[in-house]
């Protein structure tokens, strides 16, 4: 059930109980013997949550409307009833003991005290004060009205709140209402209620408190009945008593109002409180008895197990001693036969114990020969090493994976790697316990490896300088064209190369190649390919072709390179874009071998990718090469680039891509050649978040100036 429906039901029940209380009131005096709504409000706030308070206030106001004209004091009364129940709940939660209410006598007493003294007392006091202040009640009548109001609310709390709380806490679990003793007690209690309050009393009984004759029966019920059944029985008995007294029957009926109601209320509260407290005391004693029995059973079980555990423990100790002796023998064998050197020494360097491996490591025939030495100072090549080593051990208490350079007995060098621990010996003296292995061969190999690494770095630097020579020279003039370039290496040596070639017929060739792989082999192939391209004029007939002005077409250049750089010879292939610019005619002829075709940047138009590509050079597919041609206009630009641009990766692995490159070039349409390349490089850096490129980034930007234009070269 959701909160709204539950709170609405609480308000409805409160209103119904209020109507029941009004129905029990005497017609001439409006005095009710019991006000069940107060007990229900206290239980509702205690068992559920504070969200039901507004619904209780609204239900109380609705009750006021049904009893007569609405007055301001009705609001005060409604608020007083709700807030007094809240105050009782707060005090109960503050001082109650851990556990449920029905199983702790102190909790039951506190429930009744908070419900009567706090909830009923505050509600009646605030309500009567509001009536007096509002002029609806004379000050002289305040005390009798307060007393009647208080007893009515208190009776409602005593009779109804324990019932709701107990049933909410226990539910139906373990309920056995049909036991013969329970049936006998219930029948006797209800029959006594009918005899006592169901008929008019004899005249002689009117002067004696015969109602309290029921006390033994109620005490018996408190000790024997389940508290859930008992609360229902007390409620039914109270209904009998209220009904009989209202009809002027029973021991209090002849007294008249309000005395009959006052005595009835006191009687019911005393009897119910006594029975509920006795029942909770009984429940608490049962729990204590059950706990005692469980403790006794646990103690008996523990005593029974103790001897068994002693026997088992004795057996375990014997087995452990046996295993310890076996482990000691194994440890001794391991210690004597280990290939690692093991030792124990004092802080001043005196060896106390050592295994054969440690003695042999230092060049001694046996541990006994080593122990006869006065100390270990002589084994250190540099005495300050031992002082630093010992200081680190004192500071940390241990040292792991340390490496020391020592010397053997015969003076030969020795490198050891080990762990050492600072501990206390049997005599309380601080000692060092360590394990060391001989890493002399490894140390010598590392020294040789370091020398080889230095030589390799020198070779790589030299190769890097060679690679720079494969790039365009500064200060060169180009007929009818100008260019700018940029090169960002991924390492010291790569396989990218690009340049221009003035041809004998007055045209200019531009090329860009990218050798597979990285390192020196790629750089050597790139260097050889550039040398072959430099001799492009001799690819068809040597110098004669050059003198006659017969230049090889781009597709023929590709086929010649395919023949000179077979994959089975070099183990590598390369991509190449080779284009020839005839500035006099404004014609560009190009051929691409596995390389991205040139990008055409025409003023006022979107950058576009020229068609045409074939297989890479070195794969044996010369028949797949092709060439294309396009007419240029002054101001047209051509961009050659390697896949290091489009395959530049971001941190998440995303590629820069061709579409992003075209968009960046469109942004830079109005920039100079150098600014265009700088803009693309900046965008690459932003995309990669400063990461080093995984491949060389090469770009060559050529601008056609027209037949009469003379440009130059710029590079970054």
- DSSP states of 525-544: HHHHHHHHHHTGGGTTTTHH
> Which one has a higher pLDDT value, 334 or 268?
334
Domain match, 588 and 474 both: yes
277-327 pLDDT, tens digit per residue, is 777 777 777 777 777 888 888 888 888 888 888 888 888 888 888 888 888
- CB of 72 closer than 8 Å to CB of 79: no
* Across 473-484, average pLDDT: 81
- 241 in a structural domain: yes
> Which one has a higher pLDDT value, 505 or 144?
505
- CB of 105 closer than 8 Å to CB of 286: no
Which tokens in the block code for residue 664? 């960046």
636-647 pLDDT, tens digit per residue, is 999 999 988 999
Sign for the CA dihedral angle at 442, 444, 446, 452 comes to negative
Judged by DSSP in three states, 485 sits in: strand
Domain match, 607 and 588 both: yes
- 456 in a structural domain: no
Residue 543: is its pLDDT beyond 60?
Answer: no
Residue 516: is its pLDDT beyond 70?
Answer: yes
Residue 665: is its pLDDT beyond 90?
Answer: yes
Look at residue 652 in the predicted model and tell me its pLDDT.
87
Percent helix / strand / coil, the chain, rounded to 5: 55, 15, 25
Residue 157's pLDDT band (boundaries 50, 70, 90)?
confident
Residue 545's pLDDT band (boundaries 50, 70, 90)?
very low
Look at residue 9 in the predicted model and tell me its pLDDT.
83
Q: What is the C-alpha to C-alpha distance for residues 487 and 501, in angstroms, rounded to an integer?
A: 18
* Across 8-17, average pLDDT: 80
- 327 in a structural domain: no
Domain match, 146 and 232 both: no
Residues 6+ apart with CB under 8 A from 709: 480, 481, 482, 583, 634
Domain match, 151 and 131 both: yes
Range from 187-191, 414-418, 677-681 carrying the lowest mean pLDDT: 187-191
Q: What is the C-alpha to C-alpha distance for residues 128 and 149, in angstroms, rounded to an integer?
A: 8
- 331 in a structural domain: no
Cα torsion at 353, 356, 360, 361 (round to 10°)? -60
Using CB atoms within 10 Å of the CB of residue 573, give its burial: 0 to 12 exposed, 13 to 18 middle, 19+ buried. buried
* Phi, psi for 197 (deg, rounded to 5): -115, 0
Domain match, 32 and 96 both: yes
Look at residue 224 in the predicted model and tell me its pLDDT.
64
Range from 212-216, 410-414, 466-470 carrying the lowest mean pLDDT: 212-216
Look at residue 662 in the predicted model and tell me its pLDDT.
93
Question: From edge to edge, which strands make up the β-sheet containing 508-515?
Answer: 496-502, 508-515, 574-582, 587-593, 628-631
Report which of 646, 632, 518 is spatially closest to residue 582, judged by C-alpha positions. Answer: 632
Domain limit, last residue, from 438, 459, 494 = 438
Domain limit, last residue, from 438, 462, 478 = 438
Domain match, 86 and 63 both: yes
CATH number at residue 613: 3.60.40.10
Look at residue 638 in the predicted model and tell me its pLDDT.
95
Domain match, 424 and 537 both: no
Q: What is the DSSP string of 308-360?
A: HHHHHHHHHHHHHHHHHHHHHHHHHHHHHH-SSEEEEEETTS-EEEE-HHHHH
Residue 590's pLDDT band (boundaries 50, 70, 90)?
very high
Look at residue 28 in the predicted model and tell me its pLDDT.
47
Q: What is the DSSP string of 294-310?
A: HHHHHHHHHHHHHHHHH
Look at residue 308 in the predicted model and tell me its pLDDT.
87
Cβ-based neighbour number of residue 650 at 10 Å: 13
Report which of 554, 553, 654, 648 is spatially closest to residue 597, judged by C-alpha positions. Answer: 554
Range from 112-116, 336-340, 615-619, 637-641 carrying the lowest mean pLDDT: 112-116
Domain match, 521 and 406 both: no
CATH number at residue 162: 1.10.1760
Q: What is the C-alpha to C-alpha distance for residues 289 and 275, in angstroms, rounded to an integer?
A: 21
Q: Which of 32-36, 46-50, 171-175, 670-674 is predicted most confidently?
A: 670-674
Tell me the CA distances in angstroms from 716 to 83, 486, 488, one per residue in order: 84, 5, 9
- % of the chain beyond a pLDDT of 70: 78
What angle in degrees, to the nearest 10, is found between the helix axes of 3-24 and 142-170? 130
> Which one has a higher pLDDT value, 452 or 243?
452
337-368 pLDDT, tens digit per residue, is 888 888 888 888 788 888 898 888 888 888 88
pTM: 0.43
Residue 206: is its pLDDT beyond 60?
Answer: no
Residue 676's pLDDT band (boundaries 50, 70, 90)?
very high
Look at residue 142 in the predicted model and tell me its pLDDT.
74
| Helix boundaries (H) for 171-214 | 180-197
Look at residue 539 in the predicted model and tell me its pLDDT.
44
> Which one has a higher pLDDT value, 165 or 480?
480
Look at residue 606 in the predicted model and tell me its pLDDT.
92
Residue 517's pLDDT band (boundaries 50, 70, 90)?
confident
Q: What is the C-alpha to C-alpha distance for residues 120 and 128, in angstroms, rounded to an integer?
A: 12
Domain match, 270 and 394 both: no
What is the residue range of 304's domain?
A: 176-320
Residue 656's pLDDT band (boundaries 50, 70, 90)?
very high
Residue count of the chain:
716
- 147 in a structural domain: yes
* Across 11-28, average pLDDT: 72
Residue 258's pLDDT band (boundaries 50, 70, 90)?
low
Look at residue 31 in the predicted model and tell me its pLDDT.
58
Look at residue 79 in the predicted model and tell me its pLDDT.
80
Look at residue 538 in the predicted model and tell me its pLDDT.
44
Using CB atoms within 10 Å of the CB of residue 103, give its burial: 0 to 12 exposed, 13 to 18 middle, 19+ buried. middle
Residue 660: is its pLDDT beyond 80?
Answer: yes
Look at residue 546 in the predicted model and tell me its pLDDT.
44
Look at residue 261 in the predicted model and tell me its pLDDT.
67
Judged by DSSP in three states, 379 sits in: helix
Residue 234: is its pLDDT beyond 90?
Answer: no
Range from 144-148, 325-329, 625-629 carrying the lowest mean pLDDT: 144-148
Look at residue 542 in the predicted model and tell me its pLDDT.
43
Domain match, 529 and 662 both: yes
Q: What is the C-alpha to C-alpha distance for residues 306 and 304, in angstroms, rounded to an integer?
A: 6
- 40 in a structural domain: yes
Q: What is the C-alpha to C-alpha distance for residues 232 and 226, in angstroms, rounded to an integer?
A: 10
Residue 221: is its pLDDT beyond 70?
Answer: no
What total number of domains does the chain contain? 4
Which tokens in the block code for residue 539? 């690819």
Domain match, 430 and 495 both: no
Residue 624: is its pLDDT beyond 80?
Answer: yes
CATH number at residue 357: 3.30.450.20
Taking phi first (over 0 means left), then psi (-120 to 50 degrees means alpha), and beta for anything else, what does residue 506 get? left
Using CB atoms within 10 Å of the CB of residue 621, give its burial: 0 to 12 exposed, 13 to 18 middle, 19+ buried. middle
- 329 in a structural domain: no
Report which of 527, 614, 524, 528 is spatially closest to residue 564, judged by C-alpha positions. Answer: 528
Residue 25's pLDDT band (boundaries 50, 70, 90)?
low
Place of tokens 């002399």: 440
Residue 69's pLDDT band (boundaries 50, 70, 90)?
low
Look at residue 513 in the predicted model and tell me its pLDDT.
92
Average pLDDT, the chain: 79
Judged by DSSP in three states, 407 sits in: strand
Domain match, 130 and 208 both: no
- 73 in a structural domain: yes
Look at residue 598 in the predicted model and tell me its pLDDT.
93
Domain limit, last residue, from 287, 320, 353 = 320
């Amino acid at each position: 059930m959701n909160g709204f429906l539950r709170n609405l039901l609480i308000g409805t029940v409160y209103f119904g109980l209020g109507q029941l209380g009004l129905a029990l009131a005497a017609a001439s005096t409006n005095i009710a013997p019991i006000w069940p709504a107060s007990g229900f409000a206290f239980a509702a706030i205690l068992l559920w949550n504070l969200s039901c308070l507004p619904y209780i206030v609204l239900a109380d106001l609705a009750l006021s409307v049904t009893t007569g004209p609405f007055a301001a004091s009705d609001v005060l009364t409604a608020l007083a009833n709700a807030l007094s129940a809240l105050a009782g709940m707060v005090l109960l939660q503050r001082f109650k003991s851990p556990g449920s209410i029905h199983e702790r006598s102190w909790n039951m007493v506190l429930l009744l005290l908070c419900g009567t003294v706090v909830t009923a007392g505050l509600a009646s006091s605030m309500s009567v004060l509001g009536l007096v202040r509002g002029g609806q009640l004379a000050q002289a009548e305040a005390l009798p009205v307060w007393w009647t109001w208080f007893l009515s609310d208190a009776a409602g709390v005593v009779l109804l709140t324990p019932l709701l709380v107990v049933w909410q806490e226990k539910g139906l679990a373990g309920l056995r209402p049909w036991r013969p003793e329970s049936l006998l007690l219930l029948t006797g209690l209800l029959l006594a209620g009918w005899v006592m309050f169901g008929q008019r009393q004899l005249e002689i009984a009117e002067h004696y408190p015969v109602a309290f004759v029921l006390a033994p029966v109620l005490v018996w019920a408190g000790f024997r009945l389940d508290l859930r059944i008992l609360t229902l029985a007390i409620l039914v008995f109270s209904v009998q008593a209220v009904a009989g007294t209202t009809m002027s029957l029973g021991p209090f009926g002849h007294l008249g109002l309000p005395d009959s109601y006052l005595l009835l209320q006191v009687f019911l509260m005393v009897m119910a409180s006594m029975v509920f407290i006795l029942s909770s005391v009984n429940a608490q004693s049962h729990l204590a008895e059950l706990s005692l029995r469980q403790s006794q059973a646990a103690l008996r079980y523990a005593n029974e197990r103790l001897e068994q555990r002693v026997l088992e423990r004795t057996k375990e100790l014997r087995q452990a001693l046996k295993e310890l002796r076996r482990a000691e023998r194994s440890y001794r064998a391991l210690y004597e036969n280990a290939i690692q050197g093991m030792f124990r020494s004092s802080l001043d360097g005196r060896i106390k114990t050592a295994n054969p491996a440690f003695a042999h490591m230092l060049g001694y025939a046996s541990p006994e020969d080593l122990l006869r030495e006065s100390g270990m100072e002589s084994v250190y090549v540099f005495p300050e090493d031992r002082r630093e080593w010992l200081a680190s051990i004192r500071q940390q208490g241990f040292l792991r994976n340390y490496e020391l350079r020592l010397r053997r007995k015969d003076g030969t060098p020795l490198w050891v790697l080990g762990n050492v621990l600072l501990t206390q010996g049997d005599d309380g003296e601080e000692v060092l316990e360590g394990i060391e292995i001989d890493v002399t061969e490894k140390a010598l190999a590392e020294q040789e490896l370091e020398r080889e690494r230095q030589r390799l770095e020198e070779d790589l630097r030299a190769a890097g300088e060679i690679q720079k020579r494969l790039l365009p020279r500064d200060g060169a003039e180009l007929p009818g064209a100008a260019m700018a370039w940029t090169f960002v290496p991924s390492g010291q040596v790569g396989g990218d190369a690009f340049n221009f070639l003035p041809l004998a017929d007055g045209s200019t060739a531009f090329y860009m190649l990218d050798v597979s792989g990285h390192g020196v082999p790629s750089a050597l192939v790139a260097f050889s390919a550039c040398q072959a391209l430099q001799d492009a004029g001799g690819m068809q007939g040597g110098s004669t072709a050059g003198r006659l002005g017969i230049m090889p077409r781009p597709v023929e250049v590709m086929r010649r390179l395919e023949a000179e750089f077979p994959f089975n010879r070099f183990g590598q292939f390369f991509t190449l874009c080779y284009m020839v610019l005839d500035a006099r005619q404004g014609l560009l002829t190009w051929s691409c071998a596995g390389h991205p075709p040139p990008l055409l940047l025409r003023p006022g138009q979107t950058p576009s990718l020229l068609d045409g590509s074939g297989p890479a050079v070195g794969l044996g597919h010369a028949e797949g090469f092709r060439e294309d041609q396009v007419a240029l206009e002054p101001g047209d630009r051509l961009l050659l680039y390697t896949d290091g641009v489009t395959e530049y990766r971001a941190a998440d692995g995303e590629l820069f891509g061709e579409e992003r490159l075209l968009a960046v070039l469109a942004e830079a349409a109005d920039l100079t050649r150098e600014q265009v390349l700088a803009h693309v490089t900046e965008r690459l850096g932003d995309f990669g978040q400063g990461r080093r490129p995984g491949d060389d980034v090469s770009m060559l930007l050529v601008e056609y100036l027209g037949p009469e234009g003379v440009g130059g070269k710029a590079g970054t």
